[in-house]
Amino acid sequence: KLQSAGADVSAVKEAIKLQSALKFNGGGHINHSLFWKNLAPASKEGGKLEAGPLKDTIERDFGSLENLKKELNAKTAAVQGSGWGWLGWNQATKKLEVVTTANQDPL
């Protein structure tokens, strides 16, 4: 069908072959960019959780920032090889969750 539609089948096959590399390298770029942009030294109040909706939601879903840190550390320490730990919003449960992804896979 691709040939009858005028598509270059070899170009499509090449694009499919590149998907894994694009996902890995593109994901690595995005993940590392998020990581570095969100770091701040303690001298510039890095790691300080300001009052507001994020703090309220962390305390509701984890009990405290310390509990969130413990869960994040435990789950990410269990990742064998390359991977990431994330704090994400679960749209279905309307709660924050700590999850891990392998390699450079997105959340």
The pLDDT tens digits along the chain (107 residues) read 555 555 677 777 877 777 777 766 676 777 777 777 777 787 887 778 889 999 999 999 999 999 999 999 999 998 887 788 889 999 999 999 999 988 766 65
Of 43, 41, 22, 25, give the one whose Cα is nearest residue 33.
25
Phi-psi region of 70 (alpha: psi -120 to 50; beta: other; left: phi over 0): alpha
Of 68, 74, 76, 73, give the one whose Cα is nearest residue 101.
76
Look at residue 3 in the predicted model and tell me its pLDDT. Answer: 57
The answer to whether 61 and 95 have CB atoms below 8 angstroms apart is: yes
The answer to whether 85 and 98 have CB atoms below 8 angstroms apart is: yes
